Structure 1
Amino acid sequence: MSIDHDSRLRRLRFRAWHRGFREADLILGPFADVHGPHLSPEQLDTLERLLEESDREIYAWIVGQEPTPETFETDVMALIRAFRFEAHAARPTGDGA
């Protein structure tokens, strides 16, 4: 049975937001919301495989605490890393300035 793109994306977005490790949720959830609709079917495959891994490992790979296994050193991982910095730069600092 084949799943349509929108259903697949909804499922991936849910999985990205509900990792169980808040730091991973706060990167992967917004990434899936912003970039998910623009990912190719192959990139969605890559994201699905990535989401099968441990939250703490994924987070460590994204922030550079641990080397990323070659299997996951993909264009999707590069997009996630770039998104992390873009999202952080766009976040209000709360300093009232």
Structure 2
Amino acid sequence: MRPMLEDPTPKRLRWRAHHRGTKEADRMIGGFFDAHHQQWNAQEMALFEALLEEQDVDIMAWCIGTQKVPERFEGEMMIAMQRLDYLPIDR
């Protein structure tokens, strides 16, 4: 009998978070996922998955505060994304 694989959801979400289409979005959204996903429960995973359905320009605008965050994404996860303290800075 083959051992059960670990939950594929984090792997799938990680791939989607890191393959957005631009380096900036990959780093912002993927970096956030890497920094926080291990603490998320199933509801938070589902919220992040819903967030990934949004356009990158919108997600990034919500994070940097140039657009109002839609009510469905308001809360602790978006507050954490807006801190931007999870982004490494190349020097």
TM over 0.5: yes
> Are the equivalent residues in 2 in contact too, given 1:21–1:56 (CA < 8 A)?
no
SS class of match (2:86): helix
Matched, 1:78 2:88: no
2:86 counterpart residue number: 87
Shift of 1:5: 6.7
CA shift at 1:45, angstroms? 0.7
How do 1:31-50 and structure 2 match up within 5 A?
31-50=32-51
Note the aligned Cα RMSD (angstroms).
Answer: 1.9
**For the residues of structure 1 that align with 2:86 and 2:21, how far apart are their CA atoms?**
20
Normalised to the residue count of structure 2, the TM-score between the two structures is 0.82
- Report which of the two has the higher share of helix: 1
TM-score when normalising by structure 1: 0.78
Unaligned runs of 5+ residues in structure 1 are none
Runs of 4+ in structure 1 over 6 Å off? none
Contact (CA 8 Å) 1:62, 1:81: kept in 2 or not?
yes
The alignment of Structure 1 onto Structure 2 pairs a total of residues equal to 87
Q: CA deviation at 1:74?
A: 2.3
SS in 2 for 1:87: coil
Query: Quick one: percent identity of the two aligned structures?
Result: 36
Residue 87 of structure 1 deviates from its aligned partner by: 3.1
Match of 2:7 in 1: 6
Q: Distance in 2 between matches of 1:70 and 1:37?
A: 24
Q: Structure 2 vs 1, CA of residues 5 and 35 (structure 1 numbering), >3 Å: closer, same or farther? A: farther
Secondary structure in 1 matching 2:80: helix
* 1:31-84 Cα shifts (integer Å, max 9, x gaps): 1112111111110011001000011111111111111111111221112122x1
